[in-house]
């Protein structure tokens, strides 16, 4: 079974909202929402991968991020280890550079039914973390 190591960013704005991105590209999770990020490449640190992925997906430059939590999730066909980072400072306004929709959502309005299954524990942690 394939095992992927992923870095994901939780962008938090001054109003306490977080950014979620629409999942594109077909597959079972198309149409769900996720925290932006992607696979960590060979020889990359998680922070380097996060900065690269957010530049590619959102057109932003990460200035400040802190480790938030690590998750291990088993899907039917793959295992994913995700390192989540709180991104509190960045340059430029995030845009969906790959055609994906973006939404700013208040933490208390994050809906587990709309997000990727692997992201659900993050919702609970975010709602307790102020």
Torsion of CA 43, 97, 30, 26, to 10 degrees: -80
Q: Across residues 31-53, what is the average pLDDT?
A: 96
d(CA 29, CA 107): 22
Tracing tokens 């380097």 back to the chain, one arrives at: 48
- What is the model's pLDDT at position 130? 57
Q: What is the percent of the chain where pLDDT is above 70?
A: 99
- What is the model's pLDDT at position 39? 95
- What is the model's pLDDT at position 117? 87
The 10s digit of each residue's pLDDT in 88-108 is 999 999 999 999 999 999 999
Task: Say if residue 1's pLDDT is above 60.
Answer: yes
Q: Which residue, 11, 16, 7, is CA-closest to 38?
A: 7
Task: Say if residue 123's pLDDT is above 90.
Answer: yes
What average pLDDT does the chain have? Answer: 94
3-state secondary structure the chain: CEEEEEEEEEEECCCCEEEEEECCCCCCCCCCEECCEEECCCCCCHHHHHHHHHHHHHCCEEEEEEEEEEEEEECCCEEEEEEEEEEEEEECCCCCCCCCCEEEEEHHHCCCCCECHHHHHHHHHHHHCC
Q: What is the percent of the chain where pLDDT is above 90?
A: 81
């Amino acid at each position: 079974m394939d095992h992927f190591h992923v870095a994901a960013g939780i962008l938090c704005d001054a109003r306490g909202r977080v950014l979620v991105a629409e999942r594109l590209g077909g597959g079972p999770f198309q149409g769900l929402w996720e925290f932006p990020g992607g696979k960590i490449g060979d020889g990359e640190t998680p922070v380097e991968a996060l900065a690269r992925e957010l530049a590619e997906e959102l057109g932003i430059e990460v200035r400040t991020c802190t480790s938030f939590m690590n998750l291990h999730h088993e899907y039917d066909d793959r295992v994913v280890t995700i390192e989540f980072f709180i991104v509190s400072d960045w340059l430029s306004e995030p845009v969906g550079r790959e055609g994906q929709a973006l939404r700013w959502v208040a933490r208390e309005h994050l809906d587990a039914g709309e997000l990727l299954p692997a992201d659900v524990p993050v919702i609970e942690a975010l709602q307790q973390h102020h």
